[in-house]
Structure 1
Amino acid sequence: MRQIDESDFGVATAPDEVRFERLLPGPVERVWAYLTEADRRRQWLAGGEMEPRAGGTAQLVFRHSEFTDEEPPARYREMNENGFLSEGRILAWDPPRLLAMTWPGEGEDSQVEFELFREGDRVRLVVTHKRLADRGEMINVSGGWHAHLAVLEAVLSGEKAPPFWSQITALEATYTGRFDRQ
């Protein structure tokens, strides 16, 4: 398992937006499959079917127990045990380069954009989460994306996934401090 690098942290690019970058093992078509195919996506984020077109639905079925055996914090216990279904809409579908979709939240939907760039035999994945309701939501999704992307990187590298739940609280505290300084 690789060490966390400073470049792993998301950066607030606007008051309601955070951006992450990861350099992953390719090829780009493989990384695209882990973003769009339910059986592969569930290994690091959430299962669920996607209609492969702009305007289609994007189901996300969160069952974190499928990629971690750690006990979740109390606030996530029910979601971990019973799963959680979230349904958004595909905003952009341009394989294997761009996937954008709405991300249901407590109030207004936010938006997540995944961009893939070939870099030799590696792939730069850029994840931008936009239209976040407030600072609390930005901190929450930042810790979540950070932990989920670490699992994705491990899966694509053929390594054991890093701890998930035990990172969440620490990551949220770290992002609170980081965003206070930005």
Structure 2
Amino acid sequence: MSPTPTGRWTPTPTGGELIVSRTFRAPIEDVWASVTESDRTARWFGPWKGDGRPGGTIQYQMVQEEGAPWSEAVIEACEPPRRLALTNPMAYLELRLSTVDAGTQLELVHHMPGPDGIGDFGPGWEFYLDALVASRDGTPMPDFNDYYPSMRDYFTALAPAQG
């Protein structure tokens, strides 16, 4: 079964936001734990260590990537259980959680200076959020080859070309 892309592009005064979301039938505190506790992030993204307070630096391992590299990020905001924002050398990212009728909605927001690269980033974020779903549901992890390059055109078409 091929995954279906869900991402959207929202223009902003400084570029735009690539937003990918999932809804979980779980309390917001439990979903928050899945995206902030190292033993739980290790199940779908990778573990992290370091100073998880606003202004602190963490090191995180991307276990789904070739070579499982370690990278660094600065925690810009941590507002349990609703918002986590961080910057790394490649991106400014936010996780926004909200309570909805069915449980909890999680939005992964990738702030971008423009749409360049959206066709590469979008499939990756879809993959990682589906990996989060699989880790929570106890189902097999998705295969990145089902996301890229097949979703690239969908994401590229979301935003107008810069002129």
User: For this structure pair, what is the TM-score category when the shorter chain's length is used for normalisation?
Assistant: 0.7 to 0.9
Q: What are the equivalent positions in structure 2 for 1:133-148 lying under 5 Å apart?
A: 133-148=113-128
TM-score, scaled relative to structure 2? 0.83
Is 2:82 the counterpart of 1:52?
A: no
> Number of paired residues?
158
Q: What are the equivalent positions in structure 2 for 1:15-94 lying under 5 Å apart?
A: 15-64=15-64, 79-80=65-66, 82-94=67-79
| 1:74 corresponds to | none
Is 2:79 the counterpart of 1:98?
A: no
Alpha-carbon displacement from aligned partner over 1:80-116 (angstroms, at most 9, x marks no partner)? 1x221211100111111110101322xxxx2111111
2:141 and 2:72 map into 1 onto residues whose CA distance is 26
Q: Secondary structure at the match of 1:135?
A: coil
TM-score, scaled relative to structure 1? 0.75
Structure whose residues are more often helix by fraction: 1
Whether contact under 8 Å (2:115, 2:160) holds in the other structure is no
Whether contact under 8 Å (1:27, 1:121) holds in the other structure is no
- Consecutive unaligned residues of structure 2, counting only runs of 5 or more, are none
Q: What are the equivalent positions in structure 2 for 1:99-138 lying under 5 Å apart?
A: 99-105=84-90, 110-120=91-101, 122-130=103-111, 132-138=112-118
Structure whose residues are more often strand by fraction: 2
